[in-house]
Amino acid sequence: MTPSLLYAFAGAALCGIGLFGFILISHLLRKLLAFNLMGSGAFLVLVGLAQHRSGPDPVPQALVLTGIVVAIAATALAVVLIRRYYHLSGKTSLEGPAQDTPPDQARGARHE
């Protein structure tokens, strides 16, 4: 049990916390944060697991660096989409309009 392995286990725990939030929370921005937490957990597992035997391993580090940049871009795109969705529908979660919105509001949202 080396400290590096501890990083990998912490990454697994982060994945679990992120999954919990991703399933339960309905607010889209928080869902996005939870999803990012899962991603960070995966990065931590990748780096921690690779370096527990023979010190820092540049190959997974480079892959994680690539992953971080893609994750940032995807997160930013998701925020743009969520804001657009909010502008069009006035809602912050993805519940279907048939269940919880009065018909006139649903029509207004669709009209936009």
Partner 1 sequence: MNRVLRTSLVASACLAFVAGLAFVIREISATATPVDLPARLAENLGRSGVENPVTAVLLNFRSYDTLLEIGVLVIAGIAGISVARTSSLEDPELRTSDELLYALQRWLIPLMLLLAGYLLWAGSDRPGGAFQAGAVLAASGILMRLGGIPMDFLRPGLMLRLGLSLGFAVFLLVAVASALHGGEFLAYPPELAKTLIVVIETVLTLSIAMVLLALFVSAPVNDAEEPEEGGSG
Q: Tell whether residue 9 is a contact of partner 1 (CB under 8 A).
A: yes
Q: Reduce the DSSP state of residue 2 to 3 states and report it.
A: coil
On whether the CB atoms of residues 38 and 15 are closer than 8 A, the answer is: yes
Residues within window 13-42 making contact with partner 1, judged by CB under 8 A: 13, 15-17, 19-20, 23-24
Rounded CA-CA distance 75/66 in Å is 14
Q: How far is the CB of 52 from partner 1 (least distance, A)?
A: 6
Q: How many residues bind partner 1 (CB under 8 A)?
A: 52
Q: Is the CB of 5 or the CB of 33 nearer to partner 1?
A: 5
